[in-house]
Chains A and B, each alone.
Chain A
Amino acid sequence: MKLNELTAHEILQGFQAKTITPDSVYQCLQETIQNKDKKIHAYAHSADPAITPKAMDGKYPIPIAIKDNICIKDYLTTCSSRILEGFRPPYDATVITKLKDSGSIILGHANMDEFAFGSSTESSYYGVTRNPWNLDCVPGGSSGGSAAAVAAHEAIWALGSDTGGSIRQPASFCGVVGLKPTYGRVSRYGLIAFASSLDQIGPITKDVEDCALLLNLIAGHDEKDSTSANLPVPDFTRALTKDVKNIKIGIPKEYFIDGMDAEVKDSVLAAIEHLKGHGAQFIDISLPHTEYAVATYYILATAEASSNLARYDGVQYGLRCQPQQQRRTPIIDMYEETRDQGFGAEAKRRIMLGTYALSSGYYDAYYLKAQKVRTLIKKDFDEAFRSCDAIITPTAPTTAFKIGEKTSDPLSMYLSDIYTISVNLAGIPALSIPCGFSKNGLPIGLQIMGKPFDEEMLFRIAHTYEQGTEWHKRKVVL
């Protein structure tokens, strides 16, 4: 097997046995990116060279791809938006500091939907990313570049961010493992904000063991993020026990509805049977407010986004455009021209929707109401977790869709996140793991949701399932 196709834990074993060197793995990755990324476009800014440690002697000299919304000092960081063209942050995000301290090799910034607004990675200013399993299909989004890089063996593992499913849905579409940690588990310092009460950074990896390892490297309290949880961080690899005996798993009836692809449904049901064979107990549960999650999310997330993106005004950094003619006052004209040219269609749509929801006369009807429904959605999960240890659902209602299929209908794009969004509103952790392939060869993802700060349960269930199946061993042929 080629070095770039190994998992991080296999590579670490190789380092220990001295059968491979960090440099040989890095060289192999560089060649792969050079040869393959023209087809996939997993990386947003191919011209920027990788960041290698001075000596490859750290504990984890593993090559990683980083989503383009995580700040890396002096390194092009643009959220795949024109408005941040040329921006090189003067500081590292906390997760980057941690990765650099562990000896990581940063291969580059992975492409994404502009400001993480999307489910297909088609809204990047720097071009579309393609699904390595079928180049006519989207990789999912918004962390589509990160997921595609891992699936195409252009990175050993990657970081993404998840506000409404942006790690899990692309992981599902690309046949890799993706985890959205509990809100507060990983520092958001240096993650360019989309919706601050929902955003969370997480790992995208080839298997569950790597996912636990990478979470070990990035988790923990950070004084620079006052919303990061001041709780002890366990060694997540200790949860990989291959034992789910007597674990209670809930199946929410609201997630198995019309509109779900038959192949997705069959694969998820087969996964449930598999786990039953390992001694897991399944119970029927109800999350009664599920149907309101997408509507709630698109008010709260856009409201927070409209506020967070107010900072892009052409003054301190990023793009500045001068208007051709005077419309209002000179400074207002500069703001409006800069933001017209700097933001793409979806970013404008979301900023405007959020501004509307927060505007005078509409605040109570939209924003406040959505915050109240968020309470009901969170209570649904609190109630459900009284009778079970985890919840299993599909990650997405379909496999990867065709490029261009949903770009003209924003609502149909939003609905592709129907199974992932509630998790962010409730702040709980959830993981997507491959559980099959469609007849036409596209990956299917299984989602496992857990109690707050119980990522260990997700790893335990996912690892048991993965080790009893072969899905994670299928490799993309490019």
Chain B
Amino acid sequence: MITRKDVQYIAHLSRIHLQESEVEKLTNDLEGILGYIEKLNKLNVSAVKPTSHVLPIENVFRQDIEKPSLNPKDIMKFSTDNDGKGSFKVPQVIE
């Protein structure tokens, strides 16, 4: 059972502000989807190892050789607010 309060809490964890009408709709939607997902409880998986990746993934190492990288100016130009010297500006963080 998922409540409006749960939805508002998850929205905050997700850093999404929801309109009132969205809270109602999402409560119903998530309730329906999680109800469907319940079917996994029919399986006993206590002895099964989890799969996070289908390929045997290993750490990839390389030599520490200098290579050209992107120009910071080219990257900064996509931000709404920056100081033009390599720092992004954000609203006040500490009260």
Residues of A within 8 A of B (CB): 86-88, 90-91, 183-184, 197, 223, 226-227, 229, 289, 291-292, 294-296, 298-299, 306, 310, 313-318, 320, 323, 327, 329-337, 339-340, 343, 345, 348-349, 351-353, 355-356, 359, 366, 368-376, 378, 410-411, 414, 425-427, 452
A226 → chain B, closest Cβ, in Å?
4
Measured between beta carbons, the chain B residues less than 8 angstroms from A320 are: 80-81
A327 → chain B, closest Cβ, in Å?
7
Contact in complex: B80, A314 (CB < 8 Å)? yes
Candidates B18, B36, B74, B93; contact of A295 at CB < 8 Å: B36
Q: 6 closest A-B pairs (Cβ-Cβ)?
A: A427-B54, A371-B50, A317-B78, A330-B91, A336-B17, A372-B45
B40 → chain A, closest Cβ, in Å?
5
Q: Which residue of B lies closest to A359 (CB)?
A: B13
Q: Which residue of B lies closest to A198 (CB)?
A: B54
Q: How far is the CA of A412 from the CA of B24 in the complex (A)?
A: 19
Q: How far is the CA of A345 from the CA of B16 in the complex (A)?
A: 11
Q: A317-B79, A331-B92, A372-B49 are in contact. Are A298 and B16 (CB under 8 A)?
A: no
Contact in complex: A359, B10 (CB < 8 Å)? yes
Contact in complex: A337, B17 (CB < 8 Å)? yes
Candidates A291, A329, A353, A368; contact of B30 at CB < 8 Å: A353
26 interchain pairs, CB-CB under 8 A:
A294-B36, A295-B40, A296-B40, A299-B40, A318-B78, A330-B91, A334-B91, A335-B15, A336-B16, A339-B16, A345-B25, A348-B18, A349-B29, A355-B14, A371-B50, A371-B52, A372-B45, A372-B50, A373-B48, A374-B51, A375-B48, A410-B33, A411-B36, A425-B54, A427-B54, A452-B54
Q: How far is the CA of A331 from the CA of B93 in the complex (A)?
A: 6
Contact in complex: B92, A330 (CB < 8 Å)? yes
Measured between beta carbons, the chain A residues less than 8 angstroms from B1 are: none
Contact in complex: A368, B81 (CB < 8 Å)? no
Measured between beta carbons, the chain A residues less than 8 angstroms from B74 are: 90
A118 → chain B, closest Cβ, in Å?
14
Measured between beta carbons, the chain A residues less than 8 angstroms from B88 are: 315-316
Measured between beta carbons, the chain B residues less than 8 angstroms from A223 are: 60, 62
Q: A197-B53, A295-B37 are in contact. Are A352 and B11 (CB under 8 A)?
A: yes
B28 → chain A, closest Cβ, in Å?
10
B9 → chain A, closest Cβ, in Å?
9
Contact in complex: A292, B39 (CB < 8 Å)? yes
Q: How far is the CA of A95 from the CA of B3 in the complex (A)?
A: 44
Candidates B6, B16, B95; contact of A343 at CB < 8 Å: B16
Measured between beta carbons, the chain B residues less than 8 angstroms from A90 are: 70-71, 74-75, 78
Contact in complex: A375, B90 (CB < 8 Å)? no
Q: Which residue of B lies closest to A377 (CB)?
A: B51
Measured between beta carbons, the chain B residues less than 8 angstroms from A353 are: 30, 33-34
Q: A183-B55, A366-B37 are in contact. Are A340 and B17 (CB under 8 A)?
A: yes
Q: How far is the CA of A410 from the CA of B29 in the complex (A)?
A: 7
Q: Which residue of B lies closest to A89 (CB)?
A: B78
B34 → chain A, closest Cβ, in Å?
8
Measured between beta carbons, the chain B residues less than 8 angstroms from A318 are: 78
Q: How far is the CA of A357 from the CA of B81 in the complex (A)?
A: 34
Q: How far is the CA of A368 from the CA of B51 in the complex (A)?
A: 9
| CB 8 Å contact bits of B63-86 with A (1 = contact, 0 = none) | 000000011001100111100000
B92 → chain A, closest Cβ, in Å?
4
B6 → chain A, closest Cβ, in Å?
8
Contact in complex: B52, A340 (CB < 8 Å)? no
Contact in complex: A373, B45 (CB < 8 Å)? yes
Q: Which residue of A lies closest to B79 (CB)?
A: A316
A215 → chain B, closest Cβ, in Å?
18
Q: How far is the CA of A452 from the CA of B56 in the complex (A)?
A: 13
B56 → chain A, closest Cβ, in Å?
10
Contact in complex: A299, B37 (CB < 8 Å)? yes
Q: Which residue of A lies closest to B91 (CB)?
A: A330
Measured between beta carbons, the chain A residues less than 8 angstroms from B75 are: 90, 316
A429 → chain B, closest Cβ, in Å?
12
Measured between beta carbons, the chain B residues less than 8 angstroms from A378 are: 51, 54
Q: A317-B78, A329-B92, A331-B92 are in contact. Are A340 and B18 (CB under 8 A)?
A: yes
Q: How far is the CA of A410 from the CA of B33 in the complex (A)?
A: 8
Measured between beta carbons, the chain A residues less than 8 angstroms from B90 are: 315, 331, 334
